[in-house]
Amino acid sequence: MLPDTIAACAEAVLRTADATEKTTLSRACVQKWRDTPDMPIGTAKPPLQPARPAEPELLSPRDVPRRRPGTPAGRIALLHAIAHIELNAVDLHWDVIARFTHIPMPRGFYDDWVRAADEESKHFGLLNARLSAYGSHYGALPAHAGMWRAAEDTANDLEARLAVVPMVLEARGLDVTPGMITLFEKAGDDDSVAALKTIYAEEVGHVAYGSKWFHYLCGRHEKDPKPAFHHLVKTYFHGPLKPPFNDEKRAEAGLPLDFYWPLAEEA
């Protein structure tokens, strides 16, 4: 039996440790939301950190071994790293649903993040399938610890959460994914290319949801969005943004140039 409110569904996903169980429950909750037009938002007590499987081992970024991308081992490592990001993203989208129910938001806000959570769950499955085609699986390699830091740092501020997670971290995905697609094209791995192209197309939407609801909240509080964005990113995101930026896809996602360029590190 699935929970009766979308916030309780979100909490249940966050409290599920196994990756396949988490993404399966995630997609079932999405289906229930879509099948139940009057499903209540409800309230929840999301954990500060989501439940995660015993594997992968989580290491500090500098301790995660680097592998050369031109080799099969390098491609497995890259697919594993992206799978880890996608699983984290599943939790991030359910967390924004569970954590901010005290702030009245239109139903469309929940529609958007439910859809994003569904897509991340699918992305994780696509990558895990690619890992098994290489004889590996999610959990077989160490992964970055600290991916949840942005969520913890912004657990009390919805505008900061939107600025840092979709508008900075997910936007970064738009910058780096074309290079990864090229790498798998060069290796002749068409199935990984197809998976990454699906991810690339759908991630634009997640960044766009962030920008849309960030601007909505700025409007509610009569704040100028650009300086508000700069202030929140400087406060909650540790370090400058890294060019080169994918200006075209960022524009498609509703991120103006003058939002992110002033936060870039000196070239």
Q: Give me the residues that bind Fe ion (CB under 5 A), please.
A: 86, 89, 120, 123, 170, 203, 206
Instruction: Give the number of other CB atoms < 10 A from CB of residue 61.
Output: 10
Q: H/E element holding 256? A: none
Q: How far apart are CA 234 and CA 240, in angstroms?
A: 8
Structure-token match 């094209």, residue found = 185
Q: How far apart are CA 264 and CA 246, in angstroms?
A: 13
CB of 91 to Fe ion, least distance (A): 12
Nearer to Fe ion, 120 or 175 (CB): 120
205 near 116, Cβ under 8 Å? yes
CB of 131 to Fe ion, least distance (A): 15
CB of 258 to Fe ion, least distance (A): 24
Q: What is the tally of helices (H) and strands (E) in the chain?
A: 11, 2
Nearer to Fe ion, 3 or 171 (CB): 171
CB of 33 to Fe ion, least distance (A): 18
Half-sphere exposure of 39 (CA within 13 A, CB side): 23
With the CA atoms of 219, 8, 149 and 68 taken in that order, what torsion angle do they form, in degrees rounded to the nearest 10?
-110
Nearer to Fe ion, 115 or 123 (CB): 123
Tell me how many degrees the CA angle 10-206-66 measures, rounded to the nearest 5: 90
Nearer to Fe ion, 75 or 115 (CB): 115
Nearer to Fe ion, 12 or 127 (CB): 127
CB of 183 to Fe ion, least distance (A): 18
Nearer to Fe ion, 189 or 203 (CB): 203
68 near 130, Cβ under 8 Å? no
For residue 59, the cross-strand partners are 144
CB of 17 to Fe ion, least distance (A): 20
